[in-house]
Amino acid sequence: MTRRSGYSAKRKKVGALQIKMILENDYYVFMNHKKIRRLMKKYDLKAKIRQTNSYRKMFKATQEHRTCPNLLERQFDQGEPDKVLLTDITYLYYGRGQKAYLSCVKDGSTKEIVAYNV
């Protein structure tokens, strides 16, 4: 068995975990995947197929983590009710480690709880 047998057999399209499975199943050589990664780095073996970052795709699709401009500048009391609404979520533990979520909506000027949900 040559040093590149599992790697070359699949036309350089396998990573460390697939090489680990090939070595175990075909050659009965048991080795940690971290050691295989170190050997791949030492002998400059790289897979031709780059893995995609699924979080990057999700970020572009949802635009969920985009920051919004700070319009209030921490001045929550604007003088008139229902102009500024604040929200927060807290965890409530009960029973034997069970968890419930309490979500509240608070008016910025009157400081009263407008709505809540458990």
User: Could you give the CA distance from residue 40 to residue 83 in angstroms, rounded to a whole number?
Assistant: 60
User: Could you give the CA distance from residue 6 to residue 34 in angstroms, rounded to a whole number?
Assistant: 16
105 is a domain residue? yes
The count of domains in the chain is 2
Name the pTM for this structure. Answer: 0.42
Q: How far apart are the first and last CA of the chain?
A: 62
78 is a domain residue? no
pLDDT at res. 1: 43
- 33 is in which domain, residue-wise? 5-42
58 is a domain residue? no
Q: Is 59 helix (H, G, I), strand (E, B) or coil?
A: helix
103 is a domain residue? yes
User: Could you give the CA distance from residue 27 to residue 19 in angstroms, rounded to a whole number?
Assistant: 11
User: Could you give the CA distance from residue 4 to residue 19 in angstroms, rounded to a whole number?
Assistant: 10
What does the pLDDT profile of the chain (118 residues) look like in tens digits? 445 555 555 566 788 888 899 899 999 999 999 999 999 999 988 887 766 777 777 777 776 667 778 888 888 788 888 888 999 999 999 988 899 999 999 998 888 999 999 9
